Structure 1
């Protein structure tokens, strides 16, 4: 199955889950290869361009966000675009290792070869307690029930 555009519902879903699995590796070098050399990102209030900047950004991200665990779900798609909703949890190394959950949305635009050429992310972090965590050790993130209250 090709994960290059144009997307079908099946290939868009597969692309989202492939991105989820890739980001859960927390390997900036490998992840950056999924983007075009001139890929443009907006991540919250940060704007970057190119795979070297993406790799540097992700390296800094995971210096702060320890025990990171992410789930992405397909929201909508067209021929070469995908919109995603996501939730991830992490311990904030810059804030006393408090647990936090980020709620967010992304929109992606893809090049013909299937690499992402544009990514925009909007997200909000919420402090959570240990009892409120969804993604505890060994859990399958795809099996965690996320209610409408968290959409």
Structure 2
């Protein structure tokens, strides 16, 4: 009997299928740009390193994401599974956004995630580099919100 992939729980230990689904679920949540909703994927005492900023707990996550998305307008993100093992997942990502001066940016990065037994992320380490781009160099053109299923991913876009 074939497994119904959609019915597999998104808790450790991760299989390739559940890790891919966990990554897409995170991408979808971040593309809502709803700090409160996004924070619910993390433990109440989750610890982050995002660039050079250290964030601890859901309240700080909400504050961090609120500041982030006030500054990063027209935010669109794509994440891709890099590796997984047990309760850990590594992803690579790229997002595009526009600052308050109208300058477009593409930010590239890697994240290392660690989950508790219920599937909430308890540790997130993000390393990110920013590249200013011309509007004509943008690659992410879907309407704000969830990336459509038929929209190319990072590998297909050669990012």
Which band: TM-score by shorter chain? Answer: over 0.9
1:11 equivalent in structure 2: 18
**Alignment partner for residue 143 of structure 1, among 123, 137, 152?**
152
Shift of 1:146: 2.2
Deviations 1:106-143 (A, max 9, x none): 00000000000000000011001111100014474841
Deviations 1:60-100 (A, max 9, x none): 0000000000000000000100000000000012xx12000
Q: What does 1:2-151 align with in structure 2 at a 5 Å threshold?
A: 2-93=9-100, 96-138=101-143, 140=148, 142-144=151-153, 145-147=156-158, 150=159
Structure 2 counterpart SS, 1:89: strand
Shift of 1:29: 0.3
Question: Following the alignment from structure 1 to structure 2, what is the Cα–Cα distance between the partners of residues 21 and 97?
Answer: 25
Structure 1 counterpart SS, 2:140: coil
TM-score relative to the length of structure 2: 0.88
